[in-house]
Structure 1
């Protein structure tokens, strides 16, 4: 059984934690800036409804996720995503204290990125995640659960599992490719968020919270299920030992 590492309040003021939290602000800011910016560009050029627009957005997300994970891997682990953070915490790979700080940092980074995009684009509104016509809330939640499960399963299989057969650095690229593929698969149905922070920034800037809960419930449930499932079924070890409190890598 996975042992959740609670941590303690002193961890919040440790230099390593402060650097990691700051990294999550910066990494998430850069990810959202490129991801939301690509969606704004696609919408401006083609109305956002063409396959070319969706493909461009998927490629942008795949590339920026891969690079930002790689850039932050040695500092914070390069989570960029509250669902990733929760999924790793439930596997005992990051303390609860640090998880809460990471999530706050990710929301802040996303918010700053979206406000800046609105300013730099002459007042254009960052597009919010919404369900397509004919897609109900239950369908949207299940779609986000499956897509985020895929993301976290990939994170565990390519970066966390000590028995992985590929370098961790390559894992970042593969996780980015999964994100891009999921955007293509679900982008026209649920929006393929997979990331509450990615959805939070645009919703806050537009002050439009219609259906926003879907992009918290779906990703957090999907990430949690993947973390617990992979840890309990596929992780091979005699005892579960959480990462050292001072470790910033996966």
Structure 2
């Protein structure tokens, strides 16, 4: 069972942490800008729903793959659910996780407000449940989709026995995000990412079904990290060396 390192407030003043936070902000900002921007473009062009879904899925596939690689200094999380999954696997401290979550939310909000300005005030489309999809169904959708995302992250980027190179792992992670959008987009919206949902909701001030995109992804991300770390990775040493208390 992986130990979860608490960390300490001293991390916030360490150069490596500051650099990681800057990179995480930039990578998350660019990810949300491209992801939300693609949805806004599809709406503006009046694209056929299926064509629009394909365009949004492709945009997310590409930008996730690139930003994970570009954000390698911070780990390229881009997503509070990914950070939580890595926290449960002992790969990041609790304190630094909170810093990452704040960073990701601010980056998402900044990207969406800038998009509103650049598009002349167009509303940023929010994640919300489709007609006929219940709240429970939406939560389960998001749990499964985010679990598959974390399973892929661990299998292709974290597992020391992985066969893929880091760049290949980033591409494979982008592909699973795109596939999940194609599968779940017409039902739950396939967020898999509380930060990705937070920015548009804040900029549009529309919080319809918003809680689902926290509960589902965080459960799925946490489970994905716990399951892969404890059932599929064999380690003979402490994952995250720390002088702080751990549990």
Query: If the TM-score is normalised by the length of the shorter chain, which range does it land in?
Result: over 0.9
With structure 2 as the length reference, what TM-score do the two structures score? 0.96
Contact 1:163-1:236 within 8 A present in 2 as well: no
Q: CA deviation at 1:237?
A: 2.0
| Structure 2: distance between partners of 1:76 and 1:116 | 24
Listed one character per residue, the Cα deviations across residues 17-62 of structure 1 (whole Å, up to 9, x for unaligned) are 0111111111110000000000001111125x52111001000000
Question: Is contact 1:94-1:242 (8 Å) kept?
Answer: no
Query: Cα–Cα, structure 1 residues 234 and 225, in superposed 2: closer, same or farther, change >3 Å?
Result: same
**Per-residue CA distance 1:91-128 (angstroms, 9 max, x = gap):** 00011111100010000000000000000001001000
Q: 1 CA distance for matches of 2:206 and 2:241?
A: 40
Looking at structure 1, the residues matched to 234 and 157 of structure 2 have their Cα atoms a distance apart, in angstroms, of 14
RMSD, matched Cα: 1.0
Counterpart of 1:212 in structure 2 is 210
Offset at 1:244? 5.1
Distance 2:232 2:75 in 1: 21
Aligned pairs (5 A) from 1:43-122: 43-46=43-46, 50-73=49-72, 75-122=73-120
Cross-structure match for 1:158: 156
Q: Partners of 1:64 and 1:168 in 2: how far apart?
A: 16
Separation in 2, partners of 1:244, 1:63: 34
How far the C-alpha of 1:243 sits from its partner, in A, is 3.6
Deviation sequence 1:127-152 (CA, Å, 0-9, x none): 00000000000000000000000000
| CA-to-aligned-CA distance 1:131-175 (integer Å, 9 cap, x gap) | 000000000000000000000000000010111111122101100
Mark the runs of 5 or more structure 1 residues left unpaired by the alignment: 246-250
Structure 2, unpaired ranges of 5+: 243-247
Equivalences, count:
242
Aligned to 2:245: none
For residues 188-207 of structure 1, the aligned pairs below 5 Å read 188-207=186-205
TM-score by length of 1: 0.95
- In structure 2, distance between residues paired with 1:95 and 1:22: 17
Structure 1 distance, partners of 2:188, 2:197, is: 11
- What do residues 46-89 of structure 1 show as CA deviations (whole Å, max 9, x unaligned)? 25x5211100100000000000000011x100000000000000
